[in-house]
Amino acid sequence: MPTVRVQQTELYYAQAGQGQPALLFIHGAGGDHSSWGEQLRELAPSFSVAALDLNGHGRSPAREGEGFQTYTEDVLAVLEALAMPTVVVGHSMGGAIALMVALQRPKNLVGLGLVGTGAKLRVHPQILELCQTDFERAIDFIVQWAFSEQSPQELRERACAQMRRNGADALLRDFSSCNTFDVMARLSEVAVPTLILCGRDDKLTPVKYSEYLQQNIPTAQLKIIEGAGHMVMLEQPRAVTAALREFCARLL
């Protein structure tokens, strides 16, 4: 995995493929770059693709500072390293980070993909409490809400394992950051074409969150994906990949 240095800390990201625009994927709370494995494999033949481990996740060590501020710095650093027109795609917390990046208007950002996210991400109080008091119960609670009823058990187990690998500190930091996130008043400032994707059965960031994004971001389009909950890129990977492929093709 390539690295980029951010304030004396090595940040790791996976990279493959060639072609423009590039896609840079940001994982959600408690996750890492592997959340986007299917999209990396399927899109690499047509586009340059990258997915990072935010600091404190995967292979990227944590560094001091407020979560979202440091995460935004992480994405901006990889975006600069890619040095080509890039679509930033974020899931849940990653979508919030993508919005914060877009509001800074980096010069090589040409599009935005917002997957299962919102302009404001208030967190259920029980999730925050369990993150502080009972890590295993927090994982169980989150996974219960994160998938549609028809999703296979194997996907749930993968999500649990991912959160355990990243640890209790990362999960609490992520959800605490999400709980204070609010850019509802700034969506009109997003200046790049935006694709919004949401699973029909998403309980954590329901469809109404995505509808609000679509109504308030200029030139945004919304696609609801059937048979999926919050972890839509895992539950319906082909549908997510197809929507991203079509979106990027229109940017050329």
With vertex at residue 27, the alpha carbon angle to CA 159 and CA 178, rounded to the nearest 5 degrees, is: 95
Q: Per-residue confidence at 217, pLDDT binned at 50, 70, 90?
A: very high
Q: Per-residue confidence at 228, pLDDT binned at 50, 70, 90?
A: very high
**Mean pLDDT value across residues 211-228:** 97
Residue 252: pLDDT above 80?
no
CATH code at 72?
3.40.50.1820
Split into its structural domains, the chain has a count of: 1
Residue 211's domain spans which residues? 3-251
Mean pLDDT of the chain: 96
Q: Per-residue confidence at 33, pLDDT binned at 50, 70, 90?
A: very high
The percent of residues in the chain predicted with pLDDT above 70, rounded, is: 100
Give residue 7's pLDDT: 86
**Mean pLDDT value across residues 84-110:** 97
